[in-house]
Structure formats: structure tokens, C-alpha cells
Amino acid sequence: MAVTTMPDIDEFALTLQEDVRLLSEANGLSMEEAFFARVSDTITGSGEVDLLEYFHHRGTPQSGIRVDGWGGDPKRGGELTLFVVDHADNIDAPTLTGTELNGLFKRPLRFLKAALDGEWRNRLEETSPGFELSEMISARWNSFRKIRLLLVTDRKLSSRVDGREMTEFHDRTVSYSVWDINRLARIESSSLAREDIVVTLEEHGGALAVLPAHMPNSPYAAYLAAMPGSVLASIYERWQARLLEQNVRVFLQARGNVNKGIRNTIEEAPEMFFAYNNGITATAEAVEIEDRDGVPTMTTITNLQIVNGGQTSASIHAASRAGKDLSNIFVQMKLSIVDAERAEKIVPDISRFANSQNRIAAADFFSNHPFHVRMEEISRRIFAPAREGQFTQSRWFYERARGQFADLRSRLTPAQRRKFDLEHPRSQLFTKTDLAKAEMTWRKRPEIVSLGAQKNFAHFAHQIGKEWDKKEAAFSEEWFRNAVTKLLVFRKTERIVSDAASSWYTGGLRANTVCYAIAKLVHDLDQEGQSLDLQKIWSIQDIPDVLVDALDQYAELMHMHLLAPPTGGSNPTEWAKKKACVEAAMRQEIELRCDLTDLVVSVEETRSRSAAGKRDQLMINGIQAQTKVVEVGTVGWEDLKAWAEKTSMRLTPAEAGILEAATRIRHKPLSEAQAVRAISLLERAATSGFSPKERI
């Protein structure tokens, strides 16, 4: 089982407090909203809920009504999530008692009750977030089967509170979940930002008889099983998207979708399901096996991941929810046991090969994907220019895995930490989801960004993964600088919108307004054969006043556009997620009150800079590969050659020649091109079981 070391809570709380204040000052947010913005990615990244939208509404003190937002995907999952924020901004705040907990959970329930009252809704201001949320709830009420209430707090939950039983509201099940400072710290201390998935099979219908499919001295364990459809449906009901997070193709296409062929088999020939269906390929970090009457029986699975068979799982789950009989359904499962240390490397490869019949380049797009590794390496290497009035250059810190920044900082001495803080301001820390939001916005896909951080990242991963396979040299230092500049513009636009609260900004829809405003600006410049001079903005590390003015105009135009969905159509939040909304937005006309001439370059110039960046990256790749070839050493390459012969590893004649040449590098170094291919060969062998220890 993966073990998560509990972090120092006081240190985490101080860091969180600093982050929240920084976000509040930088983006013009209230401390409460800044706290929500800081922790929302952690919560959605945990898999508990897909999307969290901040929709603050507070009734009169007498009404006891309050809600701070909603989440989930009501259309697909039939589940509505409402949350409240309890932000103390005090690391010495008293623990959250059971009585306080009950009082806080009553508030969103009161909002829910009021939202179903037409007279109450009609008394709300139509442009207010509370009105939009209540209208959405009223319109979709019949599709909701379950209500989830979340409490998000920077306080500690009292140790005397060990849970809260589910209740009912208007024949809907209501569940309760608390994200306190302890839980936030525990999740963020994990490099994968995940809590363990521990499947106790007895709780889902019974333990599984299994057939071991590995040799006694095998480097990994594997099992085959015939899993009852009801067991798979129950497991999927509990963890849903979290079971699929290691497979981007499944994440994008299979969640909640019902494959017609699978559905027909379930309904018309359930006894043939095992024969007709390919089953699921899965991984786990650990299992518990008991001997029951001489039969190996699996009782527990830790960190189960379905890397192939997502549609099978989702379709069986959907059939279960629809009341279909699953008693004659059995699903074949191939389960490979991969320990936590190797999971990030091995699981993506299992996913990629298991999905080879319908391969997707992004199937192994996780924190260890070469794209993320390169972005991290560049971010640690290059300095950003000093801003006007400052003498110290700094870096933009790319956190490819949750907690890297805090972990690196915690291992430094006080003197080293002061230097680190000067070189890496917390305001210049950014994550994979931050990068994805800015990049997808620039690609003129605001409707995708509006789906929320996790879904947007899945689409981003899909696109970047394919582009990496096609031309990885395109992701150069130039690409990194441009990406950071796009993020700089994105964050500045967030502040611009918040600052417009006294003029055109009505509250709510800030995230949607920001991505639509930038996408519209990029689109309009494209129409003129131009683009923003990202190089110039990078050089000053700030947004010129003329661009601020233009972004303010674009944001106002887009905000009004989002507030006016088609008559009888979706509410503004749902409207923002539609392609039709983007198409209508791009047709909007605007007459700028400022001149952007000095801040734009031609498309040809942009392409020329990109080409130069690619050439530089190819040279860097070659130099780095030559260095690594030397580090592996003659003995290491001889070990790899012997291992390749022993395992009958498939090598092309060219690869065999390069491997032979690598064993003689003392006499003749490899060229840059040869070194790149040699390292690629080494990495391929590692995924097939070649251990670095054999190179000693």
C-alpha cells in the first residue's frame, strides 16, 4: 500500500495562509474566494468531484441561507454538489466542532429548499450568482438522484467527529464531506495529490477467486479473475472517475457514456458477456490474497486503476443504475501489481500498450511524461528578466507534481531558503492545470476551459501528447517562455475583471469571462494576420497599460455576452461550455479605444521564432543525450546489450549498431543523433524490465 507521510500541519497552514493572501492581493479577490481558488484544484484533483464553481450567495441572517458554489456534472452523474467555505485565516483557530459542522451544513440545504421555491427565485436579482444557481437547480431537479454537501475549511475538524450519516431531502440521498486543513495537507503532501483507493471486495459483493499469472521469480505479480458485473458496478459507483485517471482516452470519452454494443449484450445476451467482451486491463499497487479451501482469493485491492475497459466499466455501472439485472454478467480482469515507486512509469506504458488497438498519444500523459519533465527542467534553468525597478532576476517554478515547491523549499537551510525565495517568488509558481488553462485559452477553446480544471487538463493532455509525438522539439525554451507569458496575461486578466466590480463586472462568471476575453483577442488578431508579441511582454515581465485597457474592453464585451444566453437556452455557466457560445462570441464586434500596434507581430515572425526555438531544442537534446550516454558508461551499455540478447529484445539493425557503438564510447563518442537514439533505446528497455542496478 502507498504510504503518505503526514506533513507538519502548522507549516502547511502557514504556507496555505501565505498563498491565499498572495492570491487575494494579486487577483483582487476576497480572502474567502482566494482560499477557495487555492484549494479547489486539490479537491477536484482528488477525484471526489469533477468541477467546483464559486457561486457565493448569502441570505439574510434570519434565513440561515448560504451557499458558496456548486460542483459535479449533474447532466451525466445525476449528482448535485453544493459547498460552503469556512475560512478562519488563523492557524490558531479553534477546532471545528460537531455542533458547528451541523450548523454549516444546514445552510446549503436551506438554499436548496429555497431554490425550489419559484417565488423566492423571482425575488433575486437576475444577474446575481444565486439566481443563476437556483435556476439551474430548479430546471434540473428531476435529473438529480443524489445531493453531496462539501464543507471546505482551513480549520481542523475535531477528532471527536468521525463522520456524518447520510440523510434524505425530497427523496434524494444527501451525503456529507469535510475538507479540513488536515485533509488538504495530507492530499497535497502526496506527489500524486491522491488519497489511496482501497477496495475491500467484501463491501462490494464478495472476494474474488483469482488465477496467479506470474512466475515465482517474476519482477511483478499478475492475476486473472472473472469479476461479477455487480461487483464492478459497485466499485465504479464508489470511485468512478478516479478509477480511470491513468488513462486520458478513457477520461475524455468513457465517463458515464453507455456503449450501445455493451448495453445490447447486457440486455439481450447477458450470459454471453464474458465471451463477447474484451474485459478490463487494470493495475494496482498492492493486493491481499487469502487461501480459501485451496483457492487463491483476492480480498483487497489498493489503488486500482482501469487502464483499458473504461467504457465496459461505465456501461455496466449505467446499466446497474438503470435497474438492469447483472446477475449473469461476468467481466474478465487482467490485474498487474505495480508498486508505488514504479507506478508513474509503468502504468502509462501498460495503458498505452493495452490501448494499442485504438492508440492515443496522450495515454501516458502524467507528471512523468517527457513534456512535463522538459518544462520542469527549463523552469529550473532559465531566469526571467528583472522587472522594472528590480535588480534580482527570478524563475518561474513549474510544479509538474503536487508539492514539489514546498518539498524542495523544506529541505533547505534558512540561508538557502532566503535565496530560494528571492529566485522563486511564490507568485511565479504554476502547475499543470494553470498551464493548461492559459494554453487552451490561447488555442481559442474557452468552452473547454469552462469545463473546469480537470476536464480542461485532459483535453490539453490529449492535444499536447499528440503534438509531442509528432515534433517534440517544438517544446523548446521559446515555447516555455511563451507559455509563461500567456499565463502572465491570464492572471492579469483575472485581476482586471475583479477590479471592474465597481463598473461593468456584475459578479460571478469570472473564470469564464477571463478565458473568453483572451480567446476573443487572440481570434481578432489572427483575423488580421497578427499575434501578441509575447517576447516583448516576457522581456518586461508585466502587462503594458495599453494591453490592460484592451483586455478590459474585451472582458466587458464577453461578460455581457455570457450573461445573455439564447432565449429558452442554458444559463450563463452552461452557455459558456458550448461551442455555439464561442462561435457567437467570435462574431461580436469591438472598436478598441487603444492602439496595440507596438504590441503585435506578424504571424510569419511568430513562426520564425518558433522555428528558431525548435533548432535550439534539437541541439540541446543532442548535447544532453551525449552527456547521459557518457554517464551510463561502457559497462552500463554492455549490460544493456547482454540483457537485450538474453530477453530477445527486438532491435532494428540500426538500433543494434548504435548499441554496439555505445559499448565502445571510450574509443569513439556517439554523435548527437546517435546519442538521442541510444537514450531512447535505454528508456524503452527500462519499461520492459531492464533495471538500472544492472548497470552498476
Write out pLDDT tens, residues 322-334: 888 999 999 999 9
pLDDT tens for each residue of 575-629: 999 999 999 999 999 999 999 999 999 988 888 888 887 777 777 777 777 888 8
- What are φ and ψ of residue 12, in 5° steps? -65, -45
Q: What is the DSSP string of 482-532?
A: HHHHHHHHHHHHHHHHHHGGGTT--SS-HHHHHHHHHHHHHHHHHHTTEEE
The three-state secondary structure class of 34 is helix
CB atoms within 10 A of CB 359: 11
pLDDT at 379 over 90: yes
pLDDT tens for each residue of 441-494: 999 999 999 988 878 888 898 889 889 988 888 899 999 999 999 999 999 999
Sequence-distant (6+) residues with CB within 8 A of 337 are 220, 221, 222, 223, 283, 284, 285, 286, 287
Alpha-carbon gap, residue 186 to 12, rounded angstroms: 10
228 vs 689, residue with greater confidence? 228
- Residue 299 C-beta-side C-alpha neighbours within 13 Å: 7
Rounded average pLDDT over 218-245 = 83
> 249 falls in which pLDDT band (50, 70, 90)?
very low
Alpha-carbon gap, residue 531 to 162, rounded angstroms: 55
- What are φ and ψ of residue 190, in 5° steps? -85, 135
The pLDDT of residue 18 is 87
Alpha-carbon gap, residue 197 to 201, rounded angstroms: 12
Rounded average pLDDT over 667-673 = 80
pLDDT at 362 over 60: no
> To the nearest whole percent, how much of the chain has pLDDT over 70?
87
CB atoms within 10 A of CB 278: 13
Sequence-distant (6+) residues with CB within 8 A of 417 are 409
The pLDDT of residue 473 is 86
Q: What is the DSSP pairing of strand 530-532 with strand 600-602?
A: antiparallel
The pLDDT of residue 245 is 58
Sequence-distant (6+) residues with CB within 8 A of 313 are 232, 236, 243, 244, 254, 280, 306
> 162 falls in which pLDDT band (50, 70, 90)?
low
385 vs 692, residue with greater confidence? 385
Query: Contacts from 13-18 at CB under 8 Å and sequence distance 24+?
Result: 13/91, 13/154, 13/181, 13/185, 14/91, 15/406, 16/154, 16/181, 16/184, 17/89, 17/91, 17/154, 18/426
Alpha-carbon gap, residue 186 to 163, rounded angstroms: 18
Per the DSSP assignment, residues forming a β-bridge with 228 are 330
pLDDT at 252 over 60: no
Overall pTM > 0.75: no
Rounded to 5 degrees, what angle do the CA atoms 509, 510, 512 make? Answer: 65
> 253 falls in which pLDDT band (50, 70, 90)?
very low
Per the DSSP assignment, residues forming a β-bridge with 211 are 224
Which secondary-structure segment (H or E) carries 658? helix 653-662
The three-state secondary structure class of 145 is coil
- What are φ and ψ of residue 324, in 5° steps? -75, 150
CB atoms within 10 A of CB 3: 8
The pLDDT of residue 305 is 85
Sequence-distant (6+) residues with CB within 8 A of 637 are 629, 659, 662, 663, 665, 678
Alpha-carbon gap, residue 72 to 53, rounded angstroms: 9
Per the DSSP assignment, residues forming a β-bridge with 58 are 66
Rounded average pLDDT over 430-436 = 92
Which secondary-structure segment (H or E) carries 102? helix 98-115
> 679 falls in which pLDDT band (50, 70, 90)?
confident
Q: Indicate the domain borders of the chain.
A: 9-189, 198-358, 370-595, 617-695
Rounded average pLDDT over 335-341 = 77
pLDDT at 349 over 70: no
Alpha-carbon gap, residue 359 to 363, rounded angstroms: 8
Alpha-carbon gap, residue 551 to 513, rounded angstroms: 11
Alpha-carbon gap, residue 267 to 687, rounded angstroms: 41
> 54 falls in which pLDDT band (50, 70, 90)?
confident
> To the nearest whole percent, how much of the chain has pLDDT over 90?
36
The pLDDT of residue 348 is 56
In this structure, of 8-17, 169-178, 238-247, the range with the lowest mean pLDDT score is: 238-247
pLDDT tens for each residue of 534-589: 999 999 999 999 999 999 999 999 999 999 888 766 688 889 999 999 999 999 99
Alpha-carbon gap, residue 373 to 360, rounded angstroms: 20
> 642 falls in which pLDDT band (50, 70, 90)?
confident
In this structure, of 77-91, 165-179, 402-416, the range with the lowest mean pLDDT score is: 402-416
Whether the CB-CB separation of 156 and 182 falls below 8 Å is answered with: yes
Rounded average pLDDT over 211-220 = 75
* Closest listed residue to residue 584, CA positions, set 529, 519, 532, 530: 519
Q: Map grid coordinates 555505445 to a residue.
A: 662
Per the DSSP assignment, residues forming a β-bridge with 81 are 71, 148
- Residue 367 C-beta-side C-alpha neighbours within 13 Å: 17
The three-state secondary structure class of 414 is helix
The pLDDT of residue 590 is 94
The pLDDT of residue 151 is 93
The three-state secondary structure class of 39 is helix
pLDDT at 308 over 70: yes
Per-state percent for the chain, helix, strand, coil, to nearest 5: 55, 15, 30
- What are φ and ψ of residue 251, in 5° steps? -55, -40
Alpha-carbon gap, residue 206 to 204, rounded angstroms: 6
> How many whole angstroms from its chain centre is CA 672?
35
pLDDT at 258 over 50: no
Sequence-distant (6+) residues with CB within 8 A of 347 are 246, 283, 305, 307, 338
* Closest listed residue to residue 336, CA positions, set 77, 689, 94: 689
- Residue 217 C-beta-side C-alpha neighbours within 13 Å: 0
Whether the CB-CB separation of 146 and 175 falls below 8 Å is answered with: yes
Alpha-carbon gap, residue 419 to 393, rounded angstroms: 12
State the chain's mean pLDDT as an integer. 84
pLDDT at 255 over 70: no
Alpha-carbon gap, residue 678 to 681, rounded angstroms: 5
**CATH 3.30.70, domain 9-189, yes or no:** no
3-state secondary structure 624-656: HHHHHHHHHHHHHHHHHHHHHHHHCCCCCHHHH
- Residue 199 C-beta-side C-alpha neighbours within 13 Å: 31
pLDDT tens for each residue of 81-116: 999 999 999 988 999 999 999 999 999 999 999 999
